Amino acid sequence: MATRIHLIMASSKLRIIDNRKKVTKVKILLITLATSALVATSSYAQDTLQQTSIATTLAVDIAQAAVSACSADGYNVSAAVTDRSGVLLALVRADKAGPHTTNASTQKAFTSASSRNPTSAIAENVSKSPVAAGMVDIPGFLVLAGGVPIKVGADTIGAIGVAGAPGGNLDEACANQAIEKVGARIK
């Protein structure tokens, strides 16, 4: 009977040793996987690009601020806000704004986001340069004042387009007021 107990104890020691070996193998495997992931990440990093873009909640607030700014001056407008690529995130239309203002504001925002410039500057360039005049033929572009890029430093993170005031300069003023109003959130 004493021999039998000894064998059981010996086999339990073997199990403990085997479990320690398994734990060590698992640790080595985890370290290997983590190292592989880091190497893969760094090799993919040169093939990928991270960009900052405006969030939808902020886009809605900017569009609403632009419509409110123009309403305070007696203008019924629509305001559209896009992300950095020109994809529509928010569209707000004043109750009495004309139906054409929704498309016009969206196109102004798209134009500004695509070019990374205010549409008033583009309109000025088009009027002065026959070479730039071809920009009016780009699908989705609307070369009228009222589109303004939303920037963090030099990076464009979105754009706003306003349409419906009795002049593009007034549309642009409302757009700039809206950006200024939320300026603390754009950093």
Average pLDDT (21-39) is 71
CA distance 117 to 54: 16
State the pLDDT at residue 18: 56
Q: Return the domain boundaries, the chain.
A: 1-48, 56-185
DSSP H/E element including 67: helix 56-72
State the pLDDT at residue 158: 98
Comparison of pLDDT for 170 and 39, the residue scoring more: 170
CA distance 79 to 60: 9
CA distance 148 to 159: 6
CA distance 159 to 162: 10
State the pLDDT at residue 7: 47
Average pLDDT (59-80) is 98
The two tokens of residue 18 are 């085997």
CATH code of domain 56-185:
3.30.450.150
State the pLDDT at residue 28: 77
Q: What rounded mean pLDDT belongs to the chain?
A: 87
How sure is the predictor about 22, in pLDDT bands with cuts at 50, 70 and 90?
A: low
Q: Which of 63, 77, 106, 102 lies closest to 170 in space, CA to CA?
A: 77
| 163 pLDDT more than 60 | yes
| pTM score, whole prediction | 0.76
